[in-house]
Every structure is written in C-alpha cells, then in structure tokens.
C-alpha cells in the first residue's frame, strides 16, 4: 500500500470568495489525472453532505478535463471511473482519495491512498494523526508538495 500526503501551503488555502476547501480542488485535479491514467478511484468523504458537495464540484470542474463520476449507488452497474461516498465502496478500486478526517476502516483494500495536509491548523493536526496511524500500520507515507 502506497500512501501519499499532499502538503498544501498557505498560498493554496481557500479563496475568500469561494467556500471550496483547497484540498477539494486539488482532489478534483487528481481525479482527472487518475482517470486519464485509467485508474478507478474511490473518493471517501466524512458524510453525505460532503459527498454531494464534492460531486457538484466535479460537475463544475474544467470542461476540457471532464471526469466521469457518480455518487455510490448511482450511475452504471459497475460505477463510473470515479465513485464518491461516505460509506464503504461496493467495488474494488485501485486508488482511495480520503477527504475525511480519519482513516477509513477499509483503507487496506486500496493499493494507493491519497491524503491531504491542509494549511488550517486543526486540519493539519488531524493529518499528522493519520500520518502516525499509517506508520503504526507499518506503512511509510510519502509527502508531496501540492502544486
């Protein structure tokens, strides 16, 4: 299992005019990149409201980089290339993008996990805790500076 923590700088923090967290915007970009690389992605959110907000964000994402996606249980029988849910995935996928503040119990089902370290202090502390938990599971997470 490969775990990557994307470090967001203060420069990538939320735009004052937008209520969209910076790591959600980066997650959309990563979904587009992973889709183009033919990877099936599961985006895990904290709750239904967050899942619906991320789903809406992907619909508004760059039209030139459209990402076929759906909320869990919607769409085609085997799901779109990108599935979004606050519950455990129904199908096997290679990549987990975790937007929740805790590691999901099913994380070990993925070969690649993407986590975020937002600039906000409380979210940064929660990310540090997840980093420690992965280490306790015997995984050595890597850190990546967000673009």
Q: What is the CATH number of the domain that holds 36?
A: 3.40.50.10110
Whether residue 112 is predicted with pLDDT greater than 50 in this model: the reply is yes
Domain count, the chain: 1
Are residues 106 and 93 in contact, defined by beta-carbon separation less than 8 angstroms? no
pTM: 0.90
Distance from C-alpha of 40 to C-alpha of 49, rounded to nearest angstrom = 23
| Element of type H or E holding 70 | strand 69-71
Mean pLDDT of 76-97: 90
Compare 15 and 30 and report the one with higher pLDDT.
30
**What residues make up the domain containing 70?**
2-145
Which residues fall within 8 angstroms of residue 122, CB to CB, at 6 or more apart? none
Which two structure tokens, joined as six digits, stand for 43?
Answer: 């985006």
State residue 9's pLDDT score: 80
């Amino acid at each position: 299992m490969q775990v990557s923590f994307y470090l967001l700088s203060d420069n990538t923090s939320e735009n004052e005019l937008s209520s969209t967290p910076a790591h959600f915007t980066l997650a959309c970009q990563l979904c587009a990149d992973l889709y183009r690389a033919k990877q099936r992605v599961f985006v895990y959110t904290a709750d239904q409201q967050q899942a619906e907000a991320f789903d809406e964000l992907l619909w508004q994402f760059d039209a030139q980089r459209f990402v076929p996606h759906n909320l869990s249980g919607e769409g085609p029988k085997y799901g779109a290339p990108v599935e979004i849910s606050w519950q455990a995935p129904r199908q096997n996928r290679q990549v987990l993008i975790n937007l929740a503040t805790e590691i999901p119990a099913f994380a070990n089902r993925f070969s690649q996990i993407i986590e975020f370290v937002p600039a906000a202090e409380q979210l940064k502390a929660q990310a540090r805790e997840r980093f420690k938990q992965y280490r306790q599971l015997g995984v050595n997470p890597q850190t990546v500076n967000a673009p």
